[in-house]
Amino acid sequence: MSPKALSQSPKALKVLSKKTEHLREHLAERLALCNHSKRLILSLALRRHWGYRLLVAANSATDLGGSNGKRRNSAPITFAGAFFVPATMCYGGLCGSTFVCAGLRLPRSANPVQLATLLCLAAERGGSSEVNGAIPDDYPHSVQNPRNSPSPHGPERPPRKLVPIRSLETLQPPHEPGPCTGSSRRCAVKTNTTLTLGRIQYRTLAEISKEAGCCLAIGTKEELAGNWGMFNPFAQAVYPDASVNEVYLQERVVILVAEKIDAGAMRSVQRPEIDWSQLEDDEIHKFVVMHEIGHYRDNYSGFDTFGVTDPELRADCQRVIGAVNEILADRYAWNAIRPGEPVPLCETGKRLQDSMTESMALLDKYMPRIRRAPRTLPCGQYSYVPQAMLMTDSKVAYVGTKVSPELVDRARDRRRIYRRDTRVRG
């Protein structure tokens, strides 16, 4: 019907106005229901400290996760993107074809909507069935209709309740307790993959190195020459503050660590004492750094061998000092990552215990160690950054985003200035 004909027919206009009024009331009731349900879920999550992820899960389960006009892009929050995260290793390896969801290990075939509903119900006790281990509360588990007045469209429907299909225990696969080294430590994770040093992990290890009085840099394959870490007793150039444009260099001891470490190859190495196969994946990079710090803090100095006047004794000290220093560095690193735990001995270590004890006694007699308190360097993400960490973009990313671009250009473009030869040649 055209607008002109509609304006000339009061009866049709009255019918259309009545339908419009009914539609407006219906939309208002639906909006009130959604707002009430959202407030109920929000208060329920805040009481249990579930955080953002469970809010999104419950939002999807109650069909309240549509577009929001107040958002900048009016994009809905997808359930899979906001709640599920792939279960990957910390350093590159894929743990398995599973997903981690609110502390549960679930197969890929799990129904996300049912799972979110079940998690919401498992945290409280309500509805038509009990969940073992649930926590009672005053809030019900149903999307309640907030209307109190009778509806013009007919009798009210009873409130719909979300009932879990099965108990929470059935979602958790049977798991036998793994071999844990202590009551406070989690189960061991050992793989034969290549472990990559993370940026946050590098910054944490760099702060530990500064507490020991040295700096930390990521070494190249040419610098490390096949090693996973290296300690150089000779000072190298470092920037006291890499976030400013002022070019100011100091000389400090720098420890090198490999960016990638083959965990299987490292665990298979036979050491003079400690069994490296006991190391877990997340301990390997820290163990390497602490091992090099041990060379700096708790070793016999090779220069002290020249103070031994007897040639035969000097030769004996020079023969055993390398193996003894490796043992001391391994002990220092083990005590740093697992303080209080006994040192695990490998087969070589068990066989050489007596000879290594005699070697340490020999070195203590003729060239004792001098243990000094470390000169701690100022802490900070951009403080005392080795110049080598500014040579490539990948290394700069390990340091941080606020590294001075001018310092990077100066470090990479060091021009040699040649003096012009003005001597008169005959």
Tell me: the pLDDT tens digits for 169-225? 333 444 444 444 444 455 668 899 999 999 999 999 999 999 999 999 999 888 898
The larger pLDDT score, comparing residue 62 to residue 422, is at: 422
How far apart are alpha carbons 13 and 419 in whole angstroms?
A: 98
Per-residue pLDDT, 423: 66
Q: Which of 25-39, 93-107, 203-217 has the lowest mean pLDDT?
A: 93-107
Helices (H) and strands (E) in the chain, counts: 14, 13
Is residue 110 over pLDDT 70?
A: no
147 contacts 156 by C-beta, under 8 angstroms: yes
The secondary element (H helix, E strand) that includes residue 87 is: strand 85-88
| Band of pLDDT at residue 419, cut at 50, 70 and 90 | low
383 contacts 210 by C-beta, under 8 angstroms: yes
Across residues 392-399, what is the average pLDDT?
A: 95
| Exposure of 105 in the CB half-sphere (CA atoms within 13 A) | 9
**Percent of the chain surpassing pLDDT 90:** 45
Is residue 159 over pLDDT 70?
A: no
Is residue 11 over pLDDT 50?
A: yes
How far is residue 135 from each of residues 60, 125, 170, measured CA to CA in Å?
Answer: 22, 6, 18
Going by C-alpha positions, the residue among 217, 275, 269 that lies closest to residue 242 is 217
Residue 250: φ, ψ to 5°: -130, 170
Across residues 31-46, what is the average pLDDT?
A: 62
Output the pTM of the full model. Answer: 0.56
Averaged pLDDT score across all residues of the chain:
72
Per-residue pLDDT, 417: 59
| Band of pLDDT at residue 422, cut at 50, 70 and 90 | low
* Tokens at 382, concatenated: 């951009």
Across residues 25-38, what is the average pLDDT?
A: 70
Per-residue pLDDT, 112: 42
The larger pLDDT score, comparing residue 296 to residue 98, is at: 296
402 DSSP assignment? T
Q: Is 331 exposed, middle or buried (0-12, 13-18, 19+ CB in 10 A)?
A: middle
Q: Which of 30-39, 229-238, 301-310, 415-424 has the lowest mean pLDDT?
A: 415-424
Is residue 276 over pLDDT 80?
A: yes
How far apart are alpha carbons 78 and 85 in whole angstroms?
A: 12
Per-residue pLDDT, 24: 77
Per-residue pLDDT, 36: 65
The larger pLDDT score, comparing residue 387 to residue 41, is at: 387
Q: Is 398 exposed, middle or buried (0-12, 13-18, 19+ CB in 10 A)?
A: buried
| Band of pLDDT at residue 49, cut at 50, 70 and 90 | very low
Is residue 229 over pLDDT 70?
A: yes
Q: Which of 124-133, 210-219, 330-339, 405-414 has the lowest mean pLDDT?
A: 124-133
| Band of pLDDT at residue 106, cut at 50, 70 and 90 | very low
How far apart are alpha carbons 55 and 44 in whole angstroms?
A: 9
Across residues 226-248, what is the average pLDDT?
A: 91
How far apart are alpha carbons 70 and 374 in whole angstroms?
A: 56
DSSP-based three-state secondary structure for 262: strand
Per-residue pLDDT, 19: 77
| Band of pLDDT at residue 325, cut at 50, 70 and 90 | very high
Is residue 280 over pLDDT 90?
A: yes
The larger pLDDT score, comparing residue 61 to residue 416, is at: 416
Per-residue pLDDT, 54: 45
